[in-house]
Amino acid sequence: MTSRVGKVVGGSVYVHRSAVDLLPEVKSSAVALAERIACVYDWNVARIADGQVSLLVYESFDESGFPALLSSAKVGLGSGEVVYIDYLARINPPILHRKELLLRSDDPRIPKFRALTAAAEDHGLFREANKIGTRKAWEKAIADAGLVLKGHSLIRVGDEHFDVFRHKTAIVRGDVSQPMQIMLRLGLVAKESSVFDYGCGQGEDVAALLSQGYDAFGWDPHHAAGGPRRLADVVNLGFVLNVIEDQRERLETLKAAWGFANKALCVSVMLQRRVSTAGQKPHRDGFLTSRGTFQKYFAQQELREFVEGATGQATLGLAPGIVVVFKDKDLEQEILFRRRSRAFLIGSLPRPPRREREINVRPELRERVAPMLEALRGICLTLGRLPEPDEVPKAVLDGADDAHISWTRLIEALHQDVSDDQDFVEAARTRREDLLVHLALQQFPGSPKYRSLPKSLQIDIKAFFKSHTTALAEGRQLLFAAGDRAGVRADVEAALAAGLGGLRRDRRFRFRSSVLTRLPARLRVVVGCAEVLQGGADACDFIDLDLEAPKVTMLTCDDADQPVPCIVEKLRIDMARLRVSLDKRDQGSSPIYFKSRYLPADAPERSVQMEFESELRSTGLFVDQDAEPHLEDVVALLPSLALSRLRAL
């Protein structure tokens, strides 16, 4: 965050009291001297000019959008003369504009103040800046524009104004939030990095991270107003933007959070049509709830465009309503690969009961080596290869030093321990395939130079392909294979045999988006090519893959966990024509009956879903396979489904 502070008018600098310590020492010392000379201590703004300082008292600096001057004390620093002026009795005192310029750059009030300034600029209120410096002139300018000032909002005359209680949206959860879970799973939030929860609510994510030894801190304007606001490697802006009713303040809040991020910013919002708006009152671009809170429901593409416009960076979708943008491009490559890698997305491979193996070390070292091998084996199963020293927790390295075991000797013992381990062999195969998919898709903007790759990927390439040239050649071969329709159909048959999805009558293979990393590599590349054209597949619920043409359709549902979810958006990507189209559906108009066909065979909810579908068939509404009944007709015959959808609303 920059330390520059102050609003320059003519030859004077105006600065809020809270930011005086950021001024050059000569100026901050001048303010302190003026305060002692004038004996004025309740000032909130200082005006600093050559040889003099004015200590100004403005009304309700926090509450008034454009506060009026109440009093001033002008101090001649050389002579010690003080001129006091009382504006309290005047009917036309001076007015303060652009309050945000007086504050330190990390001040939490800036987004609200900037939003008001932007609104005034949009309405042309600053066009004649030399005529609006007093209360009467400013009030006339506002009235002439057909506006009314309410706190920090300029609204049209006749429009209804509502007080929104944003803090009431903070909920108490029993677990870490979904965005934080995803960032932890992908290693975006790690113990060696810091994380700032911007708008942390009641602070449950921060508390959970701190309890596990993470460097985490949070701030919230209501629940944690005294929390720190400082730079962090990763900033989490979780479900904050959707509760801000002012569009300009929403933008400024996003920009402020981005300013605190050293490496990455994760943004999550409520998606439209996933929550019923029944009983909510339309207000601006969202809704007012019965509790006096505001909710703006985003579309996934709208979220992407909003974040990309504010940050100037391409977004990476992590889940429906969750995107991340990066300042650290090496980290972006790491996370992009991990998102495509099943080892990270499904967690470390489960550890079977440990089999005793003969380790070729001296008997007296066996006991000392065993605890370290235990920790290193888990790392091997994630990486699919032997680790490098900087990929190992410091505690393991310290343990080896304490036991007087060299890294070379430790790695030799580890290699003997895992060389005949089938779990490790499978992890290596999986990691190599994940790398091939990643390298195939990385060739769209041009083959990346080896030196530009993150160090971990450089190590992977050496371990699995021996050279970068070989790796790129195999990646290109896989990319071209994605255009082989016969090969695509053969891989779909393999995916069907593995129980990873279902085939529709229109010759489209449909599967849950969460299953993508388990599909054959060719199919993952096909979907990855679609992602290059239009965001991430993680932001949808189901994916349709056309067997006859290079087309992918990403389906977003109102609630994919419902027994009969309804499609609300279809994002069609035609890769032959490089064309993307979005088809929005009315609520309840596109139900997915018999969802179990498209769930993975090992999905825990599949058995319950199939029991429900037996009941669905018993309605007699699905005799004609060419026409599906309307959802309301099915709901009328199935009270259990009606109750389920009612609960969802």
Q: Are 395 and 388 a contacting pair, CB within 8 Å?
A: no
Max Cα–Cα distance, the chain, nearest Å: 99
pLDDT, position 46: 96
Task: Name the DSSP class of 586.
Answer: -
pLDDT, position 363: 46
pLDDT, position 147: 92
pLDDT of 66 > 50? The answer is: yes
Q: What is the pTM of this model?
A: 0.73
Q: What is the mean pLDDT of residues 365-390?
A: 83
Q: What is the mean pLDDT of residues 614-635?
A: 82
Q: What percent of the chain has pLDDT over 70?
A: 89
Q: Are 555 and 569 a contacting pair, CB within 8 Å?
A: yes
Least reliable range by pLDDT among 120-134, 365-379, 600-614: 365-379
Q: Are 363 and 322 a contacting pair, CB within 8 Å?
A: no
pLDDT, position 277: 60
pLDDT of 378 > 70? The answer is: yes
d(CA 88, CA 591): 66
d(CA 163, CA 95): 25
pLDDT, position 43: 95
pLDDT tens-digit profile of 313-332?
Answer: 999 988 888 999 999 988 99
pLDDT of 23 > 70? The answer is: yes
d(CA 302, CA 299): 5
Strands across the sheet with 281-283, in order? Answer: 281-283, 286-288, 294-295
Taking CA atoms, 92 is separated from 131, 134, 135, in Å, by 13, 6, 5
Give the three-class secondary structure for 406.
Answer: coil
pLDDT of 206 > 70? The answer is: yes
Number of H helices, E strands in the chain: 20, 23
For residue 450, which amino acid is it? Y
Under the banding of pLDDT at 50, 70 and 90, the label for residue 344 is low
Helices 422-441, 363-383: inter-axial angle, 10-degree rounding = 30
Under the banding of pLDDT at 50, 70 and 90, the label for residue 268 is very high
Under the banding of pLDDT at 50, 70 and 90, the label for residue 172 is low
Q: What percent of the chain has pLDDT over 90?
A: 54
Least reliable range by pLDDT among 221-235, 261-275, 286-300, 384-398: 286-300
pLDDT, position 445: 66
pLDDT, position 351: 37
Q: Which helix (H) or strand (E) holds 124?
A: none
Give the three-class secondary structure for 572.
Answer: strand
pLDDT, position 274: 58
Q: Quote the distance between the C-alpha of residue 80 and its chain's center.
A: 55
Averaged confidence pLDDT in the chain? 87
DSSP-derived secondary structure for 141-184:
HHHHTTEEEETTEEEETT-------GGGG----SS--HHHHHHH
pLDDT of 631 > 90? The answer is: no
What residues contact residue 296 under an 8 Å CB cut-off, 6+ apart? Answer: 241, 242, 243, 244, 245, 250, 269, 270, 285, 286, 287
pLDDT tens-digit profile of 497-552?
Answer: 999 999 998 899 999 999 999 999 999 999 999 988 776 677 789 999 999 999 99
pLDDT, position 18: 94
d(CA 586, CA 278): 15
pLDDT tens-digit profile of 385-395?
Answer: 999 998 888 88
pLDDT of 606 > 90? The answer is: yes
pLDDT of 95 > 80? The answer is: yes
pLDDT, position 299: 85
Under the banding of pLDDT at 50, 70 and 90, the label for residue 359 is very low
Exposed/middle/buried for 501, CB within 10 Å: 0-12, 13-18, 19+?
Answer: buried
pLDDT of 446 > 70? The answer is: no
Q: Are 105 and 2 a contacting pair, CB within 8 Å?
A: yes
pLDDT, position 168: 61
Least reliable range by pLDDT among 46-50, 95-99, 450-454, 484-488: 450-454
Q: What is the mean pLDDT of residues 78-82?
A: 93
Query: Quick count: other Cβ atoms within 10 Å of Cβ 436?
Result: 21
Spell out the domains of the chain, with CATH numbers in brackets: 7-102 (no CATH), 166-327 (3.40.50.150), 351-481 (no CATH), 486-598 (no CATH), 611-648 (no CATH)
pLDDT of 187 > 60? The answer is: yes
Q: Are 230 and 260 a contacting pair, CB within 8 Å?
A: yes
Under the banding of pLDDT at 50, 70 and 90, the label for residue 241 is very high
pLDDT, position 367: 67
pLDDT, position 347: 41
* Better pLDDT: 85 or 162: 85
pLDDT of 421 > 70? The answer is: yes
